[in-house]
Amino acid sequence: MSVSDGPTGLRKENRKDNGEVETVRAVAYPAIQSLANTWSRDCARSMGEALAGDCIENDVDILLAPGVNIKRNVLNGRNFEYFSEDPYLAGTLAREYIEGLQSCGIGACLKHYYANNLEYNRLEQSSEVDERTLREIYLKPFQIACEAKPVSAMCAYNRINGVYASENKKGFRILREEFGFDGAIYSDWEAVRDRTAAAKAGLDIEFPFNQKNYEKLVADYHAGLISDEELDACAGRVLDLVYRCEEMRKQRKKAVSREKRHEVAQRIAE
């Protein structure tokens, strides 16, 4: 199963025989913040469908997009890959984007869950949010986007009311039990501090593999700090994701031409 980044177009890297890493050529699309400025469901769906073509050409199963966090601070370096300051606009266009992508047999990843609105000290800062504000603004776009049934979601780096996103059991419960999300959840790169606490909360996969965290998880298991049932729950969702990707591969058609995808990118930009 292959995943690749893609807020403004596919960003896949290949490693050559000599060890050098190169980024494959791909269509450059308007950033998601520009897509949001179209206020167009059609453009959002078209962009998802076109990006699926890039993924099919490059044997990528899951595109690590879209991001739906609210733009609260103009200094957030990730604003370009988030839709809007408005939760309804962000959620609605994300839903269309996901449906376009997944209708072509490529999985989506809804991110970065959740309240990821600052870059300053993003690995440690805590977003302090009261329940009503959380529900009406910061969680709302995730709720709307989940209507498209994304195959996966990615947790954020930050804490929410003092609890790391990767260990936020309440947040994962809301995502799965209230928003109807039925996919696998994985971490942003190096966002896991305590693999055991994250697994117990419901984080299924740590990106990237971390030997130290893995050894700690094994030791915690032998110490009785995490149960077979808790590990099986995570492993089961990982296997479900693999099987789901296999089924989606069967749905794929031949990718539309690069010229056609360029036309889509240009139309969205215009």
Helix (H, G, I), strand (E, B) or coil at 91: helix
User: Count of CB atoms within 10 A of residue 31's CB?
Assistant: 17
CA 136 to chain centre: 21
DSSP 178-243: IS---SEEEEPTT--S-HHHHHHHT--B-SS--HHHHHHHHHHHHTTSS-HHHHHHHHHHHHHHHH
- What is the Cα–Cα distance from 215 to 8, expressed in whole angstroms? 36
Q: Is 182 a catalytic residue?
A: no
Active-site pick, 42, 188, 204, 228: 188
Q: Which residue has the tokens 């050098």?
A: 20
CA 47 to chain centre: 16
Tell me which residues are annotated as active site.
188
